[in-house]
A and B are shown apart, each in its own frame.
Chain A
Amino acid sequence: KQEVTQIPAALSVPEGENLVLNCSFTDSAIYNLQWFRQDPGKGLTSLLLIQSSQREQTSGRLNASLDKSSGRSTLYIAASQPGDSATYLCALRGGGNKLTFGTGTQLKVEL
């Protein structure tokens, strides 16, 4: 059974700081890994999708990496802004085509 852990559970940083969010998983037999953002009371916004054959994906100030051998993914956010404040979720698609979510990292970027 896939288990997904995200560390830290919560993070508060000053504006402009670069930061790394971590996601670890127990079963490396995955199709892909997706990072999402969730604002309070809102739905999920897909940020980046990394296929199992890929090592990283970039979109603007976001960079996500995937290391299947160690069961880890990181989401790097450069030059953080208050608008980046949200909960970040990683999710893995394995057998059966369903997503297994981590518990999320709640990020607050302060002025």
Chain B
Amino acid sequence: NAGVMQNPRHLVRRRGQEARLRCSPVKGHSHVYWYRQLPEEGLKFMVYLQKENIIDESGMPKERFSAEFPKEGPSILRIQQVVRGDSAAYFCASSPDSAGTEAFFGQGTRLTVV
């Protein structure tokens, strides 16, 4: 019973490069959420996805950020042309449905932009 798996755990990118963060939800979970934790700040919601659908992206920056959760494979959070301010811990969570059930979190990906 693997939990939420995120990879890589640590990612270093130079300014202007692309960052791809992957999240495999708990087996059987069809709802995925991405959160960002900036240094010295709390966790902030970014995006909520179901298989092949973006349900709520109200927390996503308008530019450079995108997310997907394809029918097959992990959810991907993609950051294009990274800047130093993108350095943060990015956490993925999953739940089995939308009925207010418990959310399970991954270990996070720590992105450092140099």
Binding site for B on A (CB under 8 A): 31-32, 34, 36, 41-46, 49, 51-52, 89, 91, 93, 96-104
Contact = CB atoms under 8 A, between A and B. Distances in A.
B31 A97 contact: yes
Interface stretch (B63-71, B72-80, B104-112): B104-112
Contacts of B35: 99, 101
Contacts of B102: 32, 34, 46, 49
Contact of A44 (B56, B95, B99, B105): B105
A86 to B, nearest CB: 14
A100 B103 contact: no
B42 A99 contact: no
B99 to A, nearest CB: 8
Contacts of A45: 105
Could you tell me the dominant secondary structure of chain A's interface residues?
Answer: strand
Contacts of B108: 42-43
Contacts of B58: 96
- The 3 lowest CB-CB distance pairs between A and B, nearest first, are A31-B100, A43-B107, A44-B105
Range, interface on chain B = 20 to 34
25 contacts: A31-B99, A31-B100, A32-B100, A32-B102, A34-B102, A36-B105, A41-B110, A42-B107, A42-B108, A43-B108, A44-B91, A44-B105, A46-B104, A96-B56, A97-B31, A97-B55, A98-B33, A99-B103, A101-B35, A101-B42, A101-B43, A101-B44, A102-B42, A103-B41, A103-B42
A34 B102 CA distance: 8
A46 B104 CA distance: 7
Contacts of B103: 34, 46, 93, 99
Given A42-B107, A96-B56, A96-B58, 4 more contacts: A46-B102, A97-B95, A99-B45, A101-B43
A93 B103 CA distance: 10
Contact of B105 (A46, A97, A103): A46
Contacts of A89: 42-43
Contact of B100 (A42, A93, A104): A93
